[in-house]
Amino acid sequence: MLYDLFYSLKEVFSPFNIFQYITFRAAGAAITALIINFLIGPKIIRTLSFHQIGEMIKDIGPESHQIKKGTPTMGGVIILLSIILPTILWARLDNIYIKIILLSTIWMGIIGFIDDYLKIIKKMPKGLIARYKMAGLFTLSILVCFALPYASSDNITTTSIPFIANGQMDLGWLYYILIIIVISGTSNAVNLTDGLDGLATGLVSISVLVFGAIAYISGRIDFSNYLNIIYIPGVGELFIFCMALVGACIGFLWYNAYPASVFMGDTGSLSLGAALGTLAILLKKEILLIIIGGVFVAETISVMIQVLYFKYTRRKKGQGKKFFKMAPLHHHYELSGWSENVVVVRFWIIGVLLALMSLTTFKIQ
């Protein structure tokens, strides 16, 4: 919006020429996201508290979590507004990549909001039935599949292979199945990880910061050629979205860090996960997402192992046993004696290490 408004006037007022630079607009988006957080955050939290829209804590799990009962949830609304408004203000709205990423974020934000509404307001413990959530994720994946040809006529079904110079693989029709797996898997993975104060928020910030750097590099032919990665014209605009998202998450941490005064709920976790997965698809870094989002992957695998091991031991021995003390993985470490803050900070550190590791793959290429 601001680009269309001011850049066209550069002949009249030359300083407006600065709006052509993605880095300037990305910085503006990040700052705007922070400001929106600080302006609307307290008001939304007070509104949630007034209407008693609070988190329901299960009896199983660490006892320390019982004090969180009643903490305002659905704070993902703060994150969504802090992402969407700065992106609309600072990004080029005629860019197809911006349209796709906004669609993914808003779509799953609505699905998450409905889930939170049913759980918290309507007092339905399971919220939105799992098959309806999956239907929403599947529909979003199909929409992304249909939108991709409008984004680029080249490399539509191609994915990047890390650690290999110019490493690419054309998956053909299998690529569309990969899209469904990536978007659905990432959205659910972030949702599973959102179990401790600030954990998912911080990890998403780290992952999206990496994808922001990749978006900027992939959108410049000089940088992409130097690093032997796929050049994707126009994808640099995603850097603006990424910085808005990072700013939104950092701003939300002001309220979500331990002890949290608000939780993001499924409104935030599902939308952030969908955004992360969609970024990986648009940037052709679906495989690299496994490294960048390694903590999310570990959290998801821990749940799968727990379920499968319980079913296996119940079938073999007549009584199901747990592989972990509790899943997802962060609860296992809590029950092993780690404090909540220690778990969160150590998982953040692992997230930073994985982010740095993912960036080194470009130099190896």
- Is pLDDT of 248 > 70? yes
52: left (phi over 0), alpha (psi -120 to 50) or beta: left
pLDDT of amino acid 100: 97
- Read off the amino acid at residue 320: G
**Sign of the alpha-carbon dihedral angle for 232, 242, 328, 54:** negative
Reported as a single tens digit per residue, the pLDDT across 205-229 is: 999 999 999 999 999 999 888 888 8
- Is pLDDT of 118 > 80? yes
Are 75 and 252 spatial neighbours (Cβ–Cβ below 8 Å)? yes
- Is pLDDT of 91 > 80? yes
In this structure, what token pair is assigned to residue 169? 């693989």
Reported as a single tens digit per residue, the pLDDT across 275-326 is: 999 999 999 999 999 999 999 999 999 999 999 999 999 888 778 889 999 9
Residue 237: C-alpha distances to residues 85, 88, 94, 220, 287 (Å): 15, 12, 10, 11, 22
Are 93 and 86 spatial neighbours (Cβ–Cβ below 8 Å)? no
Work out the average pLDDT over 344-349. Answer: 97
Q: Taking Cα atoms as reference points, which of 32, 121, 113 lies closest to residue 77?
A: 113
- Is pLDDT of 68 > 80? no
Mean pLDDT of the chain, nearest integer:
90
Global pTM value: 0.94
> What residues have CB less than 8 Å from 284, skipping those under 6 apart?
155, 158, 159, 160, 168, 218, 230, 232
| Residue written as token pair 């999206």 | 208
> What residues have CB less than 8 Å from 109, skipping those under 6 apart?
76, 80, 267, 268, 270, 271
Give the whole-angstrom CA distance, residue 296 versus residue 204: 9
- Is pLDDT of 63 > 80? no
Give the whole-angstrom CA distance, residue 197 versus residue 57: 14
Work out the average pLDDT over 7-36. Answer: 89
> What residues have CB less than 8 Å from 11, skipping those under 6 apart?
none
In this structure, what token pair is assigned to residue 364? 């190896």
Are 267 and 117 spatial neighbours (Cβ–Cβ below 8 Å)? no
In this structure, what token pair is assigned to residue 165? 């110079």
Whether the link from the prior residue into 259 is cis, omega within 30° of 0, is yes
| Residue written as token pair 């880095």 | 23
User: For the chain, percent helix, then strand, then coil, each to nearest 5?
Assistant: 70, 0, 25
Q: Is 225 exposed, middle or buried (0-12, 13-18, 19+ CB in 10 A)?
A: exposed
Work out the average pLDDT over 355-363. Answer: 86
